[in-house]
Amino acid sequence: PQTTDVKILDNALQKSAVHYPGSGLPGLNNTLIFGHSTGFKVVINKAYQVFNNIKNVKPGTLIYVKTQSQIHIYRAREVKRVSKYTSWIQFESKTPMLTLATCDSFGKASDRWVLEADYVGVK
């Protein structure tokens, strides 16, 4: 989506993870991609499970972000649980990076898991 309208973003999340409008593009500033996660084992819409295992990602794990023209590679630096009351993610960054974010419990306005990764390059 090209808007930060909550209804439009919620609709997009029904299909996949979403690049947050206004955050950096892959390889530039801080690229924020957010998506659903759930602890439910049986889910009809697989988009609700896109970031199910984010909390288990180990530092050093490579993450690939595919755009229309390239595959950008990032290396996970840190995964942390962040309070829903904590200020939101800063998009400006001295070096390119990736932030992945998801709620810690499906269907609630709750804390979230945030993964930060450093840019490695393109494949």
Cα-based torsion angle of the residue sequence 74, 68, 55, 7 in order, rounded to the nearest 10 degrees: 140
| 2 Cβ contact partners less than 8 Å away, ≥ 6 residues apart | 21
pLDDT digits (tens, 9 = 90+) for 10-68: 999 999 999 999 899 999 999 999 998 887 777 888 878 888 889 999 999 999 999 99
Distance CA 73, CA 34 (A): 17
Name residue, tokens 């896109």.
50
pLDDT band at 87 (very low <50, low <70, confident <90, very high): low
Question: Residue 12 in 3-state DSSP?
Answer: helix
